[in-house]
């Protein structure tokens, strides 16, 4: 526990006008943050003065707090850390859905809440944005359920608490919550005196040695394959995974949650594993392996067609966040990186580790001649996949967009963003803004349905204001198609209000010369629109793709059938 008064100093003792708010911003900048999303409110306005004056961090005002949280999530998936600012009560509760999604999906996002001054809180008066009962900790207690660390910052210990929360956010890859009272933000403080330590020790040499011994006993003579998933990315081990796969030459797959974690143009990549909904060649390799190495895998109902995987734990080496298992032997504590190093070493040293024969799919998505007739879901995703470029950031909203695109191969260095665990529709529209700002060198692509877009469309104004050259493919299939597939295909509750989508960019501030709109009803029209996209790289491109109301991708049909049971 820190000593009292370690941050509450006079202005003369610190740098001129340096405050606790400045300390928080400097720590976020140290972690790589250069954009802070959010919505102003009376309890965070003075802190915002420090934000706009900061040398490294830029304010990005959002249309609402929920969208700010989604944008910070998308930003964190690319940059490794994200943050957003709301006001107390009304603002933070608007965003709690986004924070819960970041928690469920293991995304390190920091929520900063501007709260009433400490003296005001102590008075117990009925203050606006509160519940009027004098208890100002209600919302902090709510946040405890969807964050890995939280703090109500107090001047004497504020910098210590900031470091603790940020350290936990980075280490655990989960959201954190900082309640920053308006007066505490203005209290003088010393700047950071040393770098923030986030690489906390996890592995013990004894666990590594025991794990390696077990792996050396387990692998010889077995036909081996690899199944990787999103935790490899979240825990920062993608380079180690790529090196392991290249040198071992083992066939590999991912779940849809971990799509683009690996190079999908690699000939040893067999596809996306989705339990019983997998393509046959993927099931042959993954379920038929004598030894299956699973790395950072977490199984969900959406990514396994209702937990329909056929995997025998006795034939598996499983590596998770902080431990590993070989058959029925468990080894802890060991980090995913250290476990990967062991597997890399053993598979390249042993002569009798036999790669499971892979039934190779094409290394890239092969373009085909446009089909005749109305645009179908199969045609939509096949054409789009064939037109993707290396290093695109593709965000696919939950529904036909996510499941339609997940089964197609992406070019090398692409990034696929989705939310299959939390599944909050509309998430990807603000998230692609965050992702695009996190790496402006890569072109963002948004795939979203009409129903999902109606939930978060206000953020298109931010997309236009920030001049992001997003390629928006809006699937207009007249309502909630996923819900129709699960239950009530003709019921009124799965209908939505029809919109004039061609007018949306103008509504949110785009000049005619700043964007391109195309409405497509056939594969040929879609292909032509994609070609137009490539010749308009600096513009927002809005493609409205018309598909039949009841047409769904095969993978989504399999998942929907599983969810019905």
**Which residues are identified as catalytic?**
42, 65, 128-129, 423, 450, 477, 479, 483
For the four alpha carbons of 153, 159, 161 and 166, in that order, the dihedral sign comes to positive
Residue 449 among known ligand-binding residues: no
Beta-ladder partners of 544 = 474, 519
Q: Which of 412, 405, 413 is nearest to 384 (CA)?
A: 405
DSSP helix/strand/coil, 351: coil
Q: For residues 211 and 324, is the Cβ–Cβ distance under 8 A?
A: yes
Q: Token digits for 508?
A: 């949110």
DSSP helix/strand/coil, 449: strand
Residue 479 among known ligand-binding residues: yes
d(CA 552, CA 565): 19
Taking the chain, what is the end-to-end CA distance rounded to the nearest angstrom?
Answer: 51
Helix (H) or strand (E) holding 43: none
Q: Token digits for 268?
A: 């040893």
Strands (E) located in 296-399: 316-319, 324-326, 329-331, 354-355, 393-396
d(CA 136, CA 132): 9
Q: How far is CA 311 from the centre of its chain?
A: 27
3-state secondary structure 484-546: HHHCCCCCHHHCCCCCCHHHHHHHCCCCHHHEEEEEECCHHHHHHHHHHHHCCCCCEEEEEEE
Residue 477 among known ligand-binding residues: yes
d(CA 474, CA 454): 11
Main-chain dihedrals φ then ψ at residue 300, nearest 5 degrees: -125, 165
Main-chain dihedrals φ then ψ at residue 361, nearest 5 degrees: -90, 170
Q: For residues 236 and 262, is the Cβ–Cβ distance under 8 A?
A: no
d(CA 57, CA 26): 9
d(CA 525, CA 523): 5
Q: Which residues fall in the annotated binding site? A: 450, 477, 479
Q: Which residues fall in the annotated binding site for Mg(2+)? A: 450, 477, 479
């Amino acid at each position: 526990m820190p000593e009292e008064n370690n941050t509450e100093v006079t202005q003369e003792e610190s740098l001129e006008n340096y405050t606790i708010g400045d300390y928080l911003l400097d720590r976020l900048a140290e972690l790589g943050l250069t954009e802070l999303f959010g919505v102003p409110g009376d309890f965070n306005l003075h802190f915002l003065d420090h934000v706009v004056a900061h040398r490294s961090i830029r304010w990005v005002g959002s249309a609402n707090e929920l969208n700010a949280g989604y944008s910070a999530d998308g930003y964190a998936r690319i940059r490794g850390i994200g943050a957003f600012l709301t006001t107390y009560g009304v603002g933070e509760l608007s965003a709690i859905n986004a924070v819960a999604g970041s928690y469920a999906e293991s995304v390190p996002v920091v929520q900063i809440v501007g709260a009433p001054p400490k003296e005001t809180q102590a008075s117990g008066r009925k203050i606006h944005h509160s519940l009027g009962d004098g208890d100002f900790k209600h919302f902090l207690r709510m946040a405890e359920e969807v964050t890995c660390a939280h703090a109500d910052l107090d001047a004497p210990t504020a910098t210590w608490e900031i470091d603790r929360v940020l350290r936990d956010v980075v280490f655990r890859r989960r959201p954190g919550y900082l309640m920053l009272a308006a007066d505490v933000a203005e209290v003088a403080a010393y700047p950071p005196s040393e770098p923030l330590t986030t690489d906390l020790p996890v592995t013990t040499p004894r666990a590594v040695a025991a794990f390696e011994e077990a792996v050396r006993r387990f692998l010889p003579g077995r036909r081996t394959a690899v199944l990787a998933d999103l935790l490899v990315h979240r825990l920062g081990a993608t380079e180690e995974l790529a090196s392991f796969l290249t040198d071992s030459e083992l066939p590999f797959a991912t779940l849809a949650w971990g799509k683009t974690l690996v190079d999908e143009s690699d000939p040893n990549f067999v596809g996306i594993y989705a339990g019983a909904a997998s393509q046959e060649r993927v099931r042959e390799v993954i379920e038929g392996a004598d030894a299956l190495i699973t790395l950072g895998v977490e199984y969900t109902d959406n990514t396994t067609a209702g937990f329909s995987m056929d995997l025998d734990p006795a034939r598996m080496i499983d590596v998770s966040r902080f431990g590993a298992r070989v058959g029925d032997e468990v080894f802890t504590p060991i980090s995913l990186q250290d476990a990967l190093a062991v597997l890399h070493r053993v598979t390249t040293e042993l002569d009798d580790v036999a790669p499971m024969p892979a039934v190779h799919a094409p290394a890239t998505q092969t373009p085909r001649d446009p089909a005749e007739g109305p645009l179908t879901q199969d045609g939509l995703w096949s054409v789009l996949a064939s037109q993707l470029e290396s290093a695109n950031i593709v965000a696919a909203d939950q529904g036909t967009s996510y499941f339609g695109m997940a089964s197609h191969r992406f070019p090398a260095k692409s990034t696929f963003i989705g939310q299959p665990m939390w599944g909050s529709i509309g998430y990807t529209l603000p998230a692609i803004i965050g992702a695009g700002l996190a790496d402006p060198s890569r072109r963002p692509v948004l795939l979203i349905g009409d129903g999902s877009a109606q939930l978060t469309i206000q953020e298109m104004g931010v997309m236009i204001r920030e001049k992001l050259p997003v390629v928006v493919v809006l699937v207009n299939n007249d309502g909630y198609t996923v819900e129709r597939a699960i239950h009530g295909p003709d019921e009124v509750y799965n209908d939505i209000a029809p919109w004039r989508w061609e007018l949306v960019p103008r509504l949110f501030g785009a000049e005619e010369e700043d964007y391109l709109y195309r409405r497509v009803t056939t594969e040929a029209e879609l292909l032509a629109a994609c070609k137009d996209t490539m010749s308009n790289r600096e513009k927002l491109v809005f493609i409205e793709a018309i598909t039949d109301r009841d047409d769904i991708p095969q993978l989504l049909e399999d998942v929907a059938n599983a969810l019905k049971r």
